[in-house]
């Protein structure tokens, strides 16, 4: 595995992944305070103070070296505008595994941007980083996220029933995974 890895921008045909910047606050707040966006996320719609905190934290997360290290870059369109964020967290060095996640501004869904952004991270994970497995955890009711996993070729590996107490009710968790030899961007 080629670790540590220091963040560098990743560019695809229509979107790029770049570190968050202080001037992303307005766009990030609009996304993370939206109840519909947050419906299946672990957090409730965020306050401006909380978005300032996470923006600062995530902008400083630039190095993948140890388990739990993560990057949370902005997804930017061709104009440089923030349209969402991606997430890649090292899970295990021994098992060469990582978790992936995604978040799009609802005004930019339905265009394949999340798929393209996820492909950039999977190319990185299975290429330069030399990882063996990448997985996503989601609420199976989150059909948009399930569909994205399937479009990426991720396998439905597990379904935990009433796995967690989530926003006032029991909720299931789905696990989707993909191995290095299965990934074809
Ligand atoms: C999950 C989420 C990122 C999916 O976004 P998305 O835009 O549906 O995903 P994709 O980028 O794969 O886009 C696929 C759609 O774009 C369409 N599309 C249009 N042009 C396309 C192109 N050039 N290439 C690929 N797909 C294209 C596809 O047909 C598909 O449309 P459909 O949903 O009507 O079938 C988004 O719904 C989201 O941010 N949700 C809220 C946060 C969240 O729940 N995150 C996940 C927590 S587990």
pLDDT attached to residue 1: 77
Question: What is the CA(56)–ligand 1 centre distance, in A?
Answer: 27
Residue 98's nearest CA partner among 143, 65, 60 is 65
Distances (CA, A) of 32 to 43, 76, 96, 126: 9, 16, 30, 29
Strand partners, 120: none
| CA angle 27–28–30, rounded 5-degree value | 65
Q: Rounded distance, CA 21 to CA 27, Å?
A: 11
Long-range contacts from 167-172, C-beta under 8 angstroms, 24+ separation: 167/44, 171/139, 171/141, 172/139, 172/140, 172/141
Stretches in the chain below the pLDDT threshold 70: none
Question: What is the CA(179)–ligand 1 centre distance, in A?
Answer: 22
Residue 75's nearest CA partner among 66, 84, 67 is 84
Q: Rounded distance, CA 82 to CA 101, Å?
A: 16
Q: Rounded distance, CA 153 to CA 174, Å?
A: 15
Q: Residues lining ligand 1, judged by CB closer than 6 Å?
A: 37, 40-41, 101-104, 109-115, 138, 142, 144-145, 148, 151
Query: Which residue lies with its CA nearest to atom 14 of ligand 1?
Result: 112
pLDDT attached to residue 185: 75
């Amino acid at each position: 595995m080629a670790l540590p890895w220091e963040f560098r921008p990743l560019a695809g045909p229509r979107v790029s992944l770049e570190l968050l910047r202080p001037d992303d606050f307005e766009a990030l707040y609009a996304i993370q305070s939206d109840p519909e966006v947050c419906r299946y996320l672990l957090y409730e719609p965020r306050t401006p103070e909380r978005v300032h905190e996470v923006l600062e934290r995530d902008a400083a997360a630039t190095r993948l070296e140890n388990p739990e290290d993560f990057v949370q870059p902005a997804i930017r369109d061709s104009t440089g505008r923030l349209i969402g964020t991606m997430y890649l967290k090292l899970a295990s060095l021994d098992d060469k595994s990582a978790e992936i996640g995604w978040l799009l501004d609802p005004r930019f869904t339905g265009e394949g941007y999340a798929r393209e952004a996820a492909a950039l991270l999977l190319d990185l994970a299975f290429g330069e980083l030399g990882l063996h497995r990448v997985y996503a955890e989601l609420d199976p009711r989150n059909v948009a996220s399930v569909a994205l996993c399937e479009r990426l070729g991720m396998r439905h590996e597990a379904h935990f029933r009433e796995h967690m107490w989530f926003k006032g009710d029991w909720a299931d968790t789905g696990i989707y995974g993909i191995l290095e030899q299965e990934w074809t961007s």
